[in-house]
Structure 1
Amino acid sequence: MVILIWICLLVDVAAAVFLLLSSMSSGQDAAGRGMVMLPILLLLGLAAISYYLMQKHSMGWSLAVSGLPVIVILYLLFISVT
């Protein structure tokens, strides 16, 4: 279960980094970059909470906190590819 939690944490952080890099490289104005910052902060916050819960040996809650954004990211990836 710990490996699954680490995978979810890595996906959350990778999605936050991808959003950050895509907002910096595109021709968005300040409002567009500002709207992208909330999901970035949420992803990083959930990853931090999940890591904290994992250190407190609450593996079920840690997986739930880090797994929910992963499910949403995978769904968005699925509908964007098909």
Structure 2
Amino acid sequence: ILPALTLKEALETTKIHSVAGKIGTETSLMTVRPYRAPHHTISDVALVGGGSYPQPGEISLAHNGVLFLDEMPEFKRTVLEVMR
């Protein structure tokens, strides 16, 4: 249903996933739009990124794709506030 990634979008998405360590050695360029569906128990840092060793969060990993937040009222209030 989603359109194919353009070359610019593929490069942006690949950079983010590479920094996060989510790209395997056999993959050189992401060709499919990311689909991220974090569990409602996710922490603030895991959603937006950061931490003592900064890593991209789920929001960044969904760049040029879909961030699906099922059962929104189940997420912690702090997580919802961070997204605001």
Which has a greater percent of helix?
1
Structure with the bigger RCO (C-alpha within 8 Å, sep 6+) is 1
Which has a greater percent of strand?
2
